Amino acid sequence: MRRSAGFTLIELLVVIAIIAILAAILFPVFARAREKARQTSCLSNVKQIMLAVNMYAQDYDETLCIAYISSSPTVRWYNAIVPYVKNTQIFKCPSMPTGVSYSGGYGWNIGGWNSSDWDGYGYWYNEYRTWNGAPVCLADIQYPSESIVIGDPASNGYSGNGLYLILYSNITYIPTLHNDGGNYGFADGHAKWMKPTAVYRKDVCQATRK
């Protein structure tokens, strides 16, 4: 008697088990690949934003804007540099969850990381939180290629991300949106991805170094 050409139950179970194992291995790889693509897109956004920030500075006697200007109407840093960008979509980090207010995904380094010795790029007109209590000029920055101005938001989704970047109180607040790290824009205009340990309480969070 001829044997049926169909699969036995054991053979089917083996095939299903192999498929399940492959899926368990490949799905995380695919997820990381998708996030890597978003990370690259975000890095491009940060680079373009920093170009706009520096163009703004050139038009205002080499003085950088501050995070928040309480006036009528209220102006935030990303509002101030809109005339220097072609597409406001660059203010939206592709990895940010929906419904995030303010800048949509990027923060301004308002005060460095030391709350008792502010050394960032400025908060608002009545509390600059800078080393000299005034807006930061390009000439004030001792190491522009090593000083973060903007980046992915502190706490990875905090609604005030447009005004807060470095939160010095806890490393868990440092961005991990992109493969356990975040994208940052530096005063000289370049942008790069960094891990939290490379940012937390480091000199890169300071506009000037005393």
Q: Where are the domains of the chain?
A: 35-205
Position 163 scores a pLDDT of: 58
Q: What is the pLDDT of residue 46?
A: 94
Of 94 and 102, the one with more pLDDT: 94
**How far apart are the two ends of the chain, measured CA to CA in Å?**
92
Most confident of 3-12, 98-107, 153-162, 188-197: 188-197
Judged against a pLDDT cut of 90, whether residue 20 lies above it is answered with: no
Q: pTM of the prediction?
A: 0.80
Which residues 6+ apart lie within 8 Å of 62 measured at CB? 137, 138, 139
Indicate the DSSP class of residue 122. Answer: -
Q: Is the pLDDT of residue 21 over 70?
A: yes
Residue 38 has pLDDT above 60, yes or no: yes
pLDDT above 80: residue 115? no
Peptide bond into 144 cis (omega under 30): no
Question: If you ran DSSP here, which 8-state letter would residue 127 be given?
Answer: B
